[in-house]
């Protein structure tokens, strides 16, 4: 499959090597703690430092009610080997998270629409990010 698009229509996510059924979108936000590293040697100017790093992940998963195929992800679960890809054809994932904890899940359903689950998770421990041009 040739991928020549600027949209995210080919994005996928996997958990333990299994595609997340119905993954419609993901967001990966790298954050750190902001620590005050200011000392007298800074001459009266602020000198912040960063602390621990984390990856905050959000995924929107569309569920297929007709087939009954569900991606069972819910709050208070630990997910291992989460990989987020920009395109299904990428050789390398954009993010690899060996362990993440889902701390929020929202079920959304509408008449004449889809049934969607939105989940929020945070990395536990180290994670890796790959340059988009590397895959």
108 neighbors 95 (Cβ within 8 angstroms) = no
Tell me the C-alpha to C-alpha distance, in Å, between residue 94 and each of 14, 47, 130.
12, 31, 5
Measured CA to CA, the distance from residue 60 to residue 8 in angstroms comes to 13
Measured CA to CA, the distance from residue 101 to residue 56 in angstroms comes to 10
Please give the model's pTM, rounded to 2 decimal places.
0.77
Measured CA to CA, the distance from residue 37 to residue 50 in angstroms comes to 9
What tens digit of pLDDT does each residue of 68-123 get? 656 667 888 888 888 888 888 888 888 999 999 999 989 887 777 678 888 899 99
Tokens of 123: 């990395």
Question: What's the pLDDT score for residue 1?
Answer: 41
Please name the residue ranges forming H helices in the chain. none
Measured CA to CA, the distance from residue 24 to residue 13 in angstroms comes to 9
What tens digit of pLDDT does each residue of 13-47 get? 877 677 777 767 888 999 999 888 888 998 999 98
62 neighbors 22 (Cβ within 8 angstroms) = yes
């Amino acid at each position: 499959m040739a991928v020549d698009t600027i949209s995210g229509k080919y994005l996928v996510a996997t958990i333990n090597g299994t595609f997340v059924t119905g993954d419609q979108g993901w967001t990966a936000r790298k954050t750190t703690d902001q620590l005050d590293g200011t000392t007298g040697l800074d001459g009266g100017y602020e000198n912040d430092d960063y602390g621990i790093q984390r990856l905050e992940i959000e995924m929107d998963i569309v569920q297929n009610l007709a087939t009954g195929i569900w991606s069972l992800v819910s709050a208070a679960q630990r997910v291992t080997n989460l990989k987020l890809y920009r395109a299904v054809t990428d050789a390398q994932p954009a993010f690899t998270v060996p362990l993440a904890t889902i701390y929020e899940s929202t079920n959304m359903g509408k008449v004449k629409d889809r049934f969607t689950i939105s989940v929020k998770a945070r990395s536990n421990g180290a994670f890796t990010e790959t340059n988009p041009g590397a895959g």
